Amino acid sequence: GATFVDTLAMGVGSPVLNGGNYVYNAMFPSFIADSAHHLVQYRIRVATSAANLYGGCAFFNSARIIVMVNNCQFVLKTDLLSFDATLAGKQAQLKWQTANETDQTNFEVQKSFNGTQFFKIATIQGREFRHSYSFNDPELLKDFAYYRIVVKDPGSKKISNVELLKTSDQSIGFMSVTNPFYDKLVFDYHIQQNAVVTIVISDAHGRTLKSFKQSLVKGANEVRVENLSSLSGGSYILQVISPDGIQSRKLVKLNN
């Protein structure tokens, strides 16, 4: 549900009035849903034209279509007891402890630069009775990165906790932002010293719609802005004003 790929299935639809609402019907090529498709998620991207589907004017629907093939979940044999990430200089060192793994268990090491979209950087083969594994990321860390482990047994998988690593010279600014957003906004912000900052949300014309102060601690901070459902869909500006300056991000609000 975090990373999606384009199926290349698209079309142009005409709305039909149904119960006071205009409804579009989207057709998708049929396929045989076996266990390999279990829990696969689909979402719909909408735009005013086919050309805009791949531009900044396209939007995703909030509902997800989940393929349910198996009535009962598989029980994952392998137990992930712990997962830790540390820095040695600028190299990420990952370690995890397990139990009950077999020679059919695989550990997929995943990395992300925004905490949402992860990609595979390595696969470690499980060994029965080993219980302790490690991996050093060969790519030196420039600013920050998120890591997680996906444990895979035949027919099932489990995802570890997410670990954030950052270098000591990480500059001030946004690390990740929920964009587009609906009724709440969540973003990670890095600051070099403890400070009280002002968080401002403005419309496209620069008019302040919401402003408040919040204390941040040195390092990475998660900031949540609630009760934004009253804002109309459209473009907005998020600003964080701190003693080190002003950082801005352009946002898109989607209607609920």
The string over 211-239, giving b where at least 16 C-beta atoms fall within 10 Å of a residue's C-beta and e elsewhere, is eeeeebeeebbebebeebeebeeeebbbb
pLDDT tier at 135, thresholds 50, 70, 90: very high
Is there a single domain that holds both residue 203 and residue 228?
yes
Q: What's the mean pLDDT in 32-61? A: 68
Q: Tell me: the pLDDT tens digits for 207-218?
A: 899 999 999 988
Q: Tell me: the pLDDT tens digits for 150-190?
A: 998 887 888 888 888 877 655 668 877 888 888 889 988 88
Whether the pLDDT of residue 142 is over 60: the answer is yes
Whether the pLDDT of residue 117 is over 50: the answer is yes
Averaged pLDDT score across all residues of the chain = 80
- Sign of the alpha-carbon dihedral angle for 179, 181, 186, 189: positive
pLDDT tier at 56, thresholds 50, 70, 90: low
Q: Which two tokens stand for residue 214?
A: 């919040």
Q: Which residue reads 């000591």 in tokens?
A: 168
Whether the pLDDT of residue 73 is over 70: the answer is no
Q: Which residue reads 């420039």 in tokens?
A: 142
Residue where a domain stops, chosen among 149, 166, 183: 166
Count Cβ atoms below 10 Å from residue 92 Cβ, excluding itself: 22
Q: What's the mean pLDDT in 10-28? A: 70
More confident call, 50 vs 245: 245
Beta carbons of 233 and 255 less than 8 angstroms apart: yes
- Region label for 236, one of left (φ > 0), alpha (ψ between -120 and 50) or beta (otherwise): beta
| Cα–Cα–Cα angle for 225, 226, 232, rounded to 5 degrees | 100
Strand bridging mode 21-23 / 91-99: unpaired
Residue where a domain stops, chosen among 135, 166, 197: 166
CATH number of the domain bearing residue 211: 2.60.40.2550
Q: Tell me: the pLDDT tens digits for 236-247?
A: 999 999 887 788
pTM of the model as a whole:
0.45
Backbone angles phi, psi at 53, to 5 degrees: -60, -30
Q: What's the mean pLDDT in 44-67? A: 68
Is there a single domain that holds both residue 153 and residue 84?
yes
Is there a single domain that holds both residue 36 and residue 109?
no
Fill in the DSSP letter of residue 181: B
Q: What's the mean pLDDT in 191-202? A: 90
Q: What pLDDT was estimated at residue 214?
A: 93
Is there a single domain that holds both residue 156 and residue 180?
no
Is there a single domain that holds both residue 136 and residue 179?
no
Q: What pLDDT was estimated at residue 213?
A: 94
Is there a single domain that holds both residue 179 and residue 242?
yes
Strand bridging mode 16-18 / 21-23: antiparallel
What number of CA atoms fall less than 13 Å from residue 161's CA on the CB side?
12
- C-alpha dist (Å) from residue 172 to 169, 188, 219: 9, 11, 9
Residue 1 lies in a domain: no
Residue 206 lies in a domain: yes
By mean pLDDT, which of 65-79, 86-100, 163-177, 178-192 is the weakest? Answer: 65-79
Is there a single domain that holds both residue 160 and residue 180?
no
Q: CA 191, CA 181: separation in Å to the nearest integer?
A: 23
Q: How many residues does the chain have?
A: 256
Residue 73 lies in a domain: no
Q: What is the domain extent for residue 141? A: 79-166
Residue 11 lies in a domain: no
Q: What is the CA radius of gyration of the chain?
A: 22
Fill in the DSSP letter of residue 170: P
**How many domains does the chain divide into?**
3
Helix locations, 74-114, DSSP H: none
**Is cis: bond before 138, omega within 30 of 0?**
no
